[in-house]
Structure 1
Amino acid sequence: MNNSYAPVLSRTTSSGSSAGAGLAGITGDVAASHSGIGSAGAGGEYGRILWGRGIAASPPTVPYDEVMASEQGVLKWCNKIAQYGFSFVSGIPPTPEATQALIERIAFIRPTHYGGFWDFTSNLAHGDTAYTNLALGAHTDTTYFTDPAGLQLFHLLSHTRTEGSSENEPQEKVGPQGGESLLVDGFLAAKVLREVHPDAYRTLSRVRVRTHSAGDDATLVRPLLSQGYPILQHEAPPDLRRFDEELAFFSGEEQSASSSADAQAAPTGGEKDEPLGELVMVRYNNDDRSTLRVRDEDVEPFYDALRKWHAILSSADGEYWSQLVPGTAVIFDNHRVLHGRAAFVGARRLCGA
């Protein structure tokens, strides 16, 4: 096993941003986009732009009034989301009603086991890390859905002082402090992984990861295919023959006595030499992973690839940190952009969908 999991980071590049940083062995275009200075891709004027921490210098933002006033405002908003995978909206009245109206300018609200439009504090109303004040690493949401949530919007309505106490001290006001929001371009992280560690990229595109949500006593959510999906999903058409074999395997059907050990091992969702289509989704949340069920020979490569993937995701060069404030919301493509937050103290009220 190769015990060196971190990507080889180079010194800061001279691509035009002091906040930028490149990766050894990566092309100039990737290094530039890693600094938040990438150019539009093949999609034309509104083609995808990969970004890293340098995006902090000029994050995509649209005014609330412009979005609410015209279809052109909505188009401008959608174009920024298509390019960068996220966008801020400024000047929102800090109310749930205004936030919901903003969301419904772009799409309907998809109901889940958490409800439709939500408005909550860190009160552990659900057995989910989002309902705590803990730090959360970069992740995507609803990995346990067959079709994970697409666009998600967060609006911090308030972050105030709250009562704190200890065994030896009287109650006192604490906070507000912390709670900075984290965004990471998952498609850039995947591009870096593919160019620096191609074997790891293929492993995470092939090995299926089982996921579930079981935080509440009355809730157990799993995707239609309980064997799960790869962390890096591509648009390649499914192999229906293998699909049937995998359903039989995971439903516990008997296999013939003449089956080989390889045939009896858990399928991974693709062979090592199969071509990969375009990357269409990053599906990654370490807190939602279930028990791993893969072929024996895939266990070590999977954990090796997972460590390399985590090292790239947690590199400061790719992390964009910002402090959400009342009146400014962030919307992001949950199939591309991973999000997280720093731990916080005080009472936070967040709404969105």
Structure 2
Amino acid sequence: MFSFAQKVVRIAGPARAAYLFPLARRLASVTTVSGIDKGDESILVNWNKKKGAWSKFHFDWLRDNCPCPKCKHSVLQQRLLDTLEDATPTKVDVEGKDAVEVEWRDGHRSQYSHDWLLTNSYCHNNISVIKPQPAPKRKITLWDRDAVPDPPPEVNYHNVMADDKSMLALLQKTYQYGYCFILDTPPTLESSVEMGERIGPLLNSFYGLQWNIELGKMNVDHISYSKARILPHTDNPSFFDAPGTGLMHVIAYEDGEGGGSVLVDGFKLGDHMKQHFPEYFSLLSNVSIPYKLTFKDAANYHIRRYTFLVDDDGDPSGLHFNHIDRQPLDEESLYQAKEVLSCDADVALKKMYQAIRCFHQLLYSDEFTYKFDLRPGRMLMMNNRRVLHAREEFISGYRHVCGVYNSEQEWLSKLEKLENDLS
């Protein structure tokens, strides 16, 4: 059985867990308790004796997590205390109206408010009767071809660069819809870099801090640099730190044929599969698939990915998929599929390919696609863990496209900070 913390990381991934569930297990504040019992190694806080709601706090844990400004920086919230400090209490006062006070052998005194103890409870029983405070969920709007936001989510480049409220609007719209257009963007290489750095540190890779594609010129470094049709995908799932967001900007455009842009809402597609093809959705959520990317003279990048990540309700909360980098299903994939289906290897492999084909058919169908031309002055920001992007075959003309990435942690951290600062 997974612990709650393990489950959050398992279903959401380590980076998303801290942001999808920012207050997971955080409980509502109270001002009174039914009583506190002191033991040799811990205290037991009875929140409601009649209902058997209690929390245990060990002295080792209490000393290690003293919240006073001598032990934890009041602004940065970083630990100042050496964890090896003696955790032997010489006096424990549990009679306080709002807090527990502990005096330690070294003379230090710690105070733990009842609210703080309840918020940070880690060993407890029947705690749900104290009305757990649910983790706040930001708004998410699913869309397909017939429900593309109208007007589309948009912000102004110069406003975002100058104003935190406009930056918050950009991040909130990207979170809600999975993408947002940034209008009036100067058609320069520097614009995407400046916007990316406004969000947070850029995500570096063997592409460098910025990637550049000139369609209409011969380049065989990567298939995305060619004129070929690029099918819907998320970028770089082979990287341990796959991009959280991507900025895509056309800085030069000459009319020609082909090369249209395509977006697909992966959460909408996943929701559709969950409703209509639940067995296939379960396989793609619980069977990891190998990915590998080799670029020129760089080292091989490889990792295992679940196609869909899911939240506590089993709904899509993340996505990794890139058909050209997907590797053969292997022994681990087959073992996981057998576990999900409780079947033999032959049935498991057949069902996995049925699930992958179903996903591909939906992904490439017009039902879930949003098609448009991306032109200079209209930069695109995408949530790379939700929205898949594609490009129709480029036949003639010329385009210079560039972009940058931010990590999942950086853009969600920026979003959370601005929400807190501007609320």
**TM-score, normalized by length of structure 2?**
0.57
**Displacement after TM superposition at 1:74 (Å):** 0.4
Q: Which has the higher strand share?
A: 2
CA contact (8 A) 2:285 2:308 kept: yes
After superposition, the Cα gap between the structure-2 partners of 1:89 and 1:199, relative to the gap in structure 1 and judged at 3 Å, is same
**Displacement after TM superposition at 1:315 (Å):** 2.2
Q: Distance in 2 between matches of 1:221 and 1:86?
A: 27
- What is residue 377 of structure 2 aligned with on the other side? 327
In structure 2, which of residues 277, 288, 294 is the aligned counterpart of residue 214 of structure 1? Answer: 294
CA contact (8 A) 2:271 2:316 kept: no
In structure 2, which of residues 314, 319, 325 is the aligned counterpart of residue 288 of structure 1? Answer: 325
- What is residue 144 of structure 2 aligned with on the other side? 52
| Structure 2 alignment gaps of length 5 or more | 1-134, 335-344, 405-423
**Displacement after TM superposition at 1:336 (Å):** 0.3
After superposition, the Cα gap between the structure-2 partners of 1:125 and 1:283, relative to the gap in structure 1 and judged at 3 Å, is same
**Displacement after TM superposition at 1:337 (Å):** 0.3
**Displacement after TM superposition at 1:215 (Å):** 4.0
Q: Secondary structure at the match of 1:57?
A: coil
1:305 and 2:355 matched: yes
**Displacement after TM superposition at 1:118 (Å):** 2.3
**Displacement after TM superposition at 1:347 (Å):** 2.2
Q: Distance in 2 between matches of 1:303 and 1:176?
A: 38
In structure 1, which of residues 124, 128, 143 is the aligned counterpart of residue 237 of structure 2? Answer: 143
Instruction: Deviation per CA, 1:4-42: give whole Å up to 9, x if none.
Output: xxxxxxxxxxxxxxxxxxxxxxxxxxxxxxxxxxxxxx9
Q: Secondary structure at the match of 2:399?
A: strand
After superposition, the Cα gap between the structure-2 partners of 1:220 and 1:105, relative to the gap in structure 1 and judged at 3 Å, is same
- What is residue 129 of structure 1 aligned with on the other side? 223
In structure 1, which of residues 73, 81, 85 is the aligned counterpart of residue 166 of structure 2? Answer: 73
**Displacement after TM superposition at 1:277 (Å):** 5.0
Q: Distance in 1 between matches of 2:318 and 2:202?
A: 20
Identity of aligned residues (%): 30
Give the paired residue count.
254
Q: Distance in 2 between matches of 1:117 and 1:206?
A: 34
* Residue type at the aligned position of 1:284: F
| Structure 1 alignment gaps of length 5 or more | 1-41, 161-174, 237-275
In structure 2, which of residues 303, 307, 316 is the aligned counterpart of residue 231 of structure 1? Answer: 307
1:195 and 2:275 matched: yes
In structure 2, which of residues 387, 399, 402 is the aligned counterpart of residue 348 of structure 1? Answer: 399
Instruction: Deviation per CA, 1:72-104: give whole Å up to 9, x if none.
Output: 110111110111010000101101112221222
CA contact (8 A) 1:126 1:216 kept: no
Q: Distance in 1 between matches of 2:241 and 2:227?
A: 27
Instruction: Deviation per CA, 1:149-206: give whole Å up to 9, x if none.
Output: 110010011123xxxxxxxxxxxxxx62221110000001000001000000011112
* Residue type at the aligned position of 2:306: P
Instruction: Deviation per CA, 1:224-261: give whole Å up to 9, x if none.
Output: xxxx122112368xxxxxxxxxxxxxxxxxxxxxxxxx
After superposition, the Cα gap between the structure-2 partners of 1:110 and 1:116, relative to the gap in structure 1 and judged at 3 Å, is same
CA contact (8 A) 1:126 1:215 kept: no
Q: Distance in 2 between matches of 1:117 and 1:215?
A: 16
| Equivalent residue runs for 1:257-296 within 5 Å | 279-293=316-330, 294-295=333-334, 296=345
**Displacement after TM superposition at 1:144 (Å):** 0.6
CA contact (8 A) 1:56 1:320 kept: no
- What is residue 246 of structure 2 aligned with on the other side? 152
Q: Secondary structure at the match of 1:195?
A: helix
**Displacement after TM superposition at 1:218 (Å):** 3.8
* Residue type at the aligned position of 1:339: H
* Residue type at the aligned position of 2:261: S
**TM-score, normalized by length of structure 1?**
0.68
* Residue type at the aligned position of 1:205: S
